[in-house]
Amino acid sequence: MAVTTQPRGKRKETETFVKELDPQLVLDWTEADVVENYLKPIGMEFMAKAFMENHINGSVLLALREEHIKELGCAVLGDRILFMEYLQLLKKHKKDLDRSRALWSGQTPINSCAYHENCGKYLFFVICGCCVRKVDWRITGQGIRWRKMRAAIDCCGDEETQFVDYRFVKDLELRAQPRFCCCCIGKELLIYADDKDSLSTRQSEAAVNQTIEHAPISILHPEAQKAEAIVRNAWADTKLVSD
């Protein structure tokens, strides 16, 4: 079996091609799709017969390791190394997308009396919701991101994005407290974190290098319990990887 060689320019093109693949679509590929959409573009079509005979579809492709490639008859070391370099790029791309994918998303405040302090504030929200500054929440496998949007009435205000990585989460607390003049019960998730990466993107670089005590992050939302379970599981996974 001939060793596959690629000029530097061609390898760059191939790496770009692999990085631009959608891993979710790759998972649904048939054996023929793997040959046409992956092996041929990366210059490894000589392995097509072995892939077809061994039923290497998209999901199996993403699970392959170097020993599997050798079992498939790729005896030349150079070919295996090149194949695995491209496959690792695809696997890393999938991992990055999985970590950034939203596991839960929501917006606060919401149109419910249980999530406003009193009748006046709730009526203001109902009558002029565009005048209330809202927060978009996004919980991913990597951390918690939230964006404070500018209210329509605040023409001079700025939007503000913040992020907390699970590695710096210290504790979680789920509360169910009386709201709206004690007539309703609102659910609230408090996230305690000490993370300089959670600072506002508007703050100076000097402030980022300081040790800062953070107030708990508050998600006042009916799905706070669901969000707490997702954050706790992702936080536990991160601690296992760190350990």
Q: Which domains does the chain have, with CATH numbers?
A: 8-100 (1.10.150.50), 102-242 (2.30.29)
pTM score, whole prediction: 0.66
Is pLDDT of 242 > 90?
no
Burial of residue 150, with CB atoms counted within 10 A of its CB: 0-12 exposed, 13-18 middle, 19 or more buried: middle
- Could you tell me which residue, 120 or 16, shows the higher pLDDT? 16
Contacts 24+ apart (CB under 8 A), 62-66: 62/23, 62/26, 62/27, 62/87, 62/90, 62/91, 62/94
The pLDDT of residue 47: 95
pLDDT digit string, tens, across residues 147-188: 998 877 666 656 789 999 999 999 999 999 877 666 788 899
The pLDDT of residue 180: 64
pLDDT digit string, tens, across residues 114-158: 888 778 888 888 888 888 889 999 999 999 999 998 877 666 656
Angle between helices 77-100 and 8-19 (to 10 degrees): 30
Distance CA 202, CA 199 (A): 8
